[in-house]
Amino acid sequence: MILPNETSWLLRNKEMQGNKKSTGKNRATITLIAFVSMFALSLPVFAQQGEAIGNFVGKNTQQNEEQSTVEQSGEQIGSQLITLSGGDVTYDPDADLFYRVAGGSSFGVSVPDGAIVTGTVKTEIPPALTAILYKNGTELSGTDLTAISGPGKYVLAVTANDDMQTVRVGFTIVTSPTCSVKEYRMPADFYVVSATLDGDEATYSQTNVDMSRDGTYVINYRSPEAEKEMILCVKIDHTAPTVTLNGVVDGKANQPVTVSDVEEGAKIYLTRNGVQIDYTGTVADTGGYILTVQDEAGNETIYDFVVVTYANSSMKVLLVVVAVLFTAVVGYLIYYRKYIRVS
pLDDT at residue 321, rounded to an integer: 79
DSSP state of 312: -
Count other C-beta atoms under 10 Å from residue 107's C-beta.
23
CA 237 to chain centre: 24
Return the closest-CA partner of residue 156 out of 187, 114, 190, 127: 114
pLDDT tens for the 343 residues of the chain, in order: 444 444 444 434 444 444 444 444 445 444 445 444 454 444 444 444 444 444 443 444 444 444 443 333 333 334 588 998 878 999 999 999 999 999 889 999 999 999 999 999 999 999 999 999 999 999 999 889 999 999 999 999 999 988 778 999 999 999 999 999 999 999 999 999 999 999 999 999 999 999 999 999 999 999 999 999 999 999 999 999 999 999 999 999 988 999 999 999 999 999 999 999 999 989 989 999 999 999 999 999 999 999 997 655 565 666 677 878 888 887 777 776 666 655 5
Query: Is residue 171 within 8 Å of residue 142, measured between CB atoms?
Result: no
User: According to the model, what pLDDT value does residue 339 have?
Assistant: 65
d(CA 301, CA 269): 11
Spell out a b/e string for 154-189, using b for 16 or more CB atoms within 10 Å of the CB, else e.
bbbbbbbeeeeeebebebbbbeebbbbbeebebbeb
Give the three-state DSSP class for 12.
helix
Q: How many residues does the chain have?
A: 343
293, 262 contact by CB (below 8 A)? yes
- Please name each of the domains of the chain with its CATH number: 90-236 (no CATH), 244-307 (2.60.40.10)
Residue 266, judged by CB atoms within 10 A of its CB (0-12, 13-18, 19+), counts as: middle
Sequence-distant (≥ 6) Cβ neighbours of residue 190 within 8 angstroms: 112, 221, 222, 223, 230
* Cα gap 269→267, rounded to integer Å: 7
Q: Quote the pTM value.
A: 0.67
Q: Of 264, 83, 310, which is closest to residue 189 (Cα–Cα)?
A: 83
CA–CA dist 60, 54 (Å, integer):
10
